[in-house]
Amino acid sequence: MSLNFIEEIVEEDNRTGKWEGRVHTRFPPEPNGYLHIGHAKSICLNAGLARKYNGTFNVRFDDTNPAKEEQEYVDSILRDVAWLAGDVAKDRVFFASDYFGKMYEYAETLVKAGKAYVCDLTPEQMREYRGTMKEPGKESPGRKRTPDENLELLRRMKAGEFEEGTYTVRAKIDMASGNFNLRDPVMYRIVKAHHHRTGDTWAIYPSYDWAHGLEDSLEKITHSICTLEFENHRPLYDWFLNELGLYHPQQIEFARLNLTYTVLSKRKLLELVSGRHVRGWDDPRMPTISALRRRGYPAAAVRAFCDEIGVTRVDSVIDVGRLENAVRGDLNRTAERRMAVLKPLKVVIENWPDGTTEALDAVNNPEDEAAGKRKVPFGKVLYIERDDFMENPPKKFFRLSPGREVRLRYAYFVTCKEVKKDAAGNVTEVVCTYDPATKGGDSPDGRKVKATLHWVAAETAATAEVRLVDRLFNVESPEGDDYLKNLNPKSLELVSDAKLEPSLATADVGRVFQFERLGYFNVDLDSKPGKLVFNRTVTLKDAWAKEQAKGEP
RNA sequence: UGGGGUGUCGUCUAACGGUAGGACAGUAGCCUUUGACGCUACUUAUCCAGGUUCGAAUCCUGGCGCCCCAGCCA
């Protein structure tokens, strides 16, 4: 197994003793939204590195902007990280806001050393002074103030004497740098908002660039892993820590995750929620971690997916089918099988004795013998899937049709004798006969059938609402300003009266089953005793659907 | 346009001067009490042009494409 480029760096560092053999990573979310599958990649990378190299992993909230951050997000992020990474981060949860005092002291240090100053440019002026790609910037008048004058202004900023937008603290670096991040970046701005943890004790808040390296440094992080767009910020990360002479982690950038048929920008996810295009952050159609969990994706499947896609510095887009495959792969091994009919078609077995039922043996999971067997009741009136019957079947359709014999799984061979229709010509009932010699599904004379169908006995069936969850967007690359136009109108199809085998009636919330021949389904949070609700986690691969699709353009 | 990054099958990803390999997707089969799972085979790639070398995806030179940066967001 080959190493990814970050593992190579870590192993080289361990070899040379750069960090005395320590590996200490972190995941630093801003609590301004819910975590999504892209964050999962980062969590798996950072937590995985710590696990693999016997290191330490911190979760640290980068809560430096009280205008956007909320406790609700802190809580959801903690739940998501615990679900995905287990208790690796237990007792290792930190907050940037806990470091505000130290950060402020460091800021005074830089001001006293003449390396930072208070700037009184307005936001508009600051933009003008920054220059362009072609032209260097102009120096702020604040640059000429003495350290003592700057220190006094800084203290008055901290004391809350000024309004938002009036002053900033900036590092004195290079207004002519080709890298805009070095054109005297802002370290502090005045924000008069209530912070979810520090309340109203601060009137100034550190910017990302100023805060982030200090956070890493204070926590003795070794490898500070972030996404590619922060590469331009690394010189600044290094500058602050060098100027202050502090412990200095190594920033390493990797390519963020992109997925087909998915948007992953926080802004857009927030819009989907607040614009009511979905039912909430954990709507099973969302790419958020809480939605994947609600939908029945196993954490192990998400981890396997993150492993499989690799870690590089190349911009890439992963086929969302890879995620779905990882889920199928996990659930195939772990999920118990059940029979459920989503779109019922009534079947009457005309030679079955009236008023009698029979309990038949069914295997719970062919991939796991330890899962055992269960009894499924059979009777005179059954439901099969509407799609499993065709009056005039095309060539490659080998399910039930007039005159044809098929197997009902774990039950009997049945042969279609008659089709009943309503006035409009819709098939309302299929009449069959069964062969008593085929009990359990084997024919003693060795005759073959081309199809095996799932079924549910009408008399004992449980009823459920089933939410057929599909991709939220119907184009491969929905990103763009008009992404809402790409919403899939059929992303959620509701089935109100699915028929289930009775063993499903008492299934616990969260439990995932394979409904044979249909897909994996889990019991939704909304489910209550007597009012079952299932989500379709993911479909099974469907060779027949694919065959049919060939006929279409 | 200044700065930074990055180009290998359709999509991900490996190969660290020595047989361009794997996964997903696709195609054709096999198997099957799930048209699932599993199994087999096949198709398809080094951005371009020069150079160095016995030998280049890899090293050098020059092009070209794509991504990021001009928030008091992160």
Q: Tell me, yes or no, whether A534 lies in a domain.
A: no
Is the complex ipTM higher than 0.95?
A: yes
Q: State the residue for tokens 């772990």.
A: A334
Is the minimum distance from the CB of A549 to strand B below 7 Å? Answer: no
* Within-domain flag for A527: no
Domain count, chain A: 3
Shared domain for A291 and A352, answered yes or no, is no
Is residue A492 one of the residues assigned to a domain?
no
> Does A418 share its domain with A442?
yes
* A276 beta carbon to strand B: under 7 Å: no
Instruction: Mention every residue, 6+ apart, whose C-beta is less than 8 A from residue A206.
Output: A64, A96, A100, A103, A107, A187, A188, A214
A407 touches strand B (CB under 7 A): yes
Q: Tell me, yes or no, whether A515 lies in a domain.
A: no
- Chain A window 303-342, residues with Cβ within 7 A of nucleic strand B: 308-319, 321-322, 325, 328-329, 332, 337
- DSSP code of A32? S
Q: Are A191 and A204 in contact (CB under 8 A)?
A: yes
pLDDT score of A549: 84
H or E element at residue A362: strand A358-363
Last residue of a domain, one of A199, A219, A254: A254
What CATH number corresponds to the domain at position A9?
3.40.50.620
CA of A311 to C1' of B57 (A): 19
Tell me, yes or no, if A192 is annotated catalytic: no
Domain identity same for A225 and A297: no
DSSP secondary structure code for residue A483 in this structure: G
Report the C-alpha gap between A123 and A142 in whole angstroms: 14
Closest CA-bearing residue to C1' of B66: A315
- Residue recorded with tokens 């510095």: A313
- Distance of C1' in B56 from CA in A199, Å: 62
Buried b (16+ CB within 10 A) or exposed e, A31-54: bebbbbbbbbbbbbbbbbbbbebe
- Domain containing A290 — which CATH number? 1.10.1160.10
Closest Cα to residue A351, out of A265, A297, A417? A417
> Using CA atoms, how far apart are residues A327 and A298, in angstroms rounded to an integer?
7
d(CA A261, CA A269): 14
* Same-domain check for residues A453 and A342: yes
What are the DSSP E strand ranges found in A129-175? 168-171
> Measuring CA to CA, how many Å separate A101 from each of A167, A205, A206?
20, 11, 11
Task: Indicate if A220 belongs to the active site.
Answer: no
Residue at A420 is within a domain: yes
Question: Which residue is the nearest neighbor of B38, CA to C1'?
Answer: A367
**At A298, which amino acid appears?**
P
Domain co-membership, A302 together with A208: no
In a domain, A498, yes or no: no
Q: Are residues A311 and A249 in the same domain?
A: no
Residues A296 and A406 in one domain: no
What was the pLDDT predicted at A552? 61
Instruction: Report if residue A503 sits inside a domain.
Output: no
Which of A59, A52, A98 shows the shortest CA–CA distance to A75? Answer: A59
User: What residues contact A531, with CB distance under 8 A and at least 6 apart?
Assistant: A465
Q: Please give the protein residue whose CA is closest to the C1' of the nucleotide B6.
A: A314
Contact A85, A59 (CB under 8 A): no
Contacts of A477 (CB under 8 A, 6+ apart): A260, A317
Is A231 a residue of the active site?
Answer: no
CA distances from A413 to A96, A407, A503 (A): 67, 4, 23
A328/A341 same-domain check: no
Say what the alpha-carbon torsion angle A10, A11, A15, A17 is, to the nearest 10 degrees. Answer: 20
Are A243 and A343 in a shared domain? no
For residue A8, give the H/E element and its range. Answer: helix A5-16
We report the CATH number of the domain holding residue A429 as: 2.40.240.10
* Coil vs helix vs strand at A217: helix
Q: How far apart are the first and last CA of chain A?
A: 42
Catalytic residue chosen out of the listed positions A30, A108, A358, A479: A30
A57: number of Cβ within 10 Å? 22
Q: Please name the residue whose C-alpha is nearest to the C1' of nucleotide B37.
A: A332
Mean pLDDT in consecutive groups of 10 residues from the start of chain A, 553 residues: 94 97 98 98 98 97 98 97 89 97 98 98 98 97 97 98 98 98 98 98 98 98 98 98 98 98 96 97 98 98 97 97 98 98 98 97 97 98 98 94 98 98 97 98 94 98 98 95 95 98 97 98 96 98 91 61
Cβ-proximal residues to A91 (8 Å cutoff; 6+ apart), any chain: none
Q: Is residue A70 part of a domain?
A: yes
Residues A139 and A31 in one domain: yes
The pLDDT value given to residue A523: 98
At which of A334, A364, A384 does a domain end?
A: A334
- What residues make up the domain containing A424? 337-461
Domain endpoint, select from A281, A309, A334: A334
A342 in the same domain as A330:
no
d(C-alpha A510, C-alpha A527), whole Å: 9
pLDDT of residue A87: 82
Residues found in chain A:
553
Give the integer Cα–Cα distance in Å for A20 and A14: 7
A33 with A178, same domain? yes
Q: Are A340 and A512 in contact (CB under 8 A)?
A: no
The one catalytic residue among A266, A343, A375, A471: A266
Tokens of A16: 């040379």
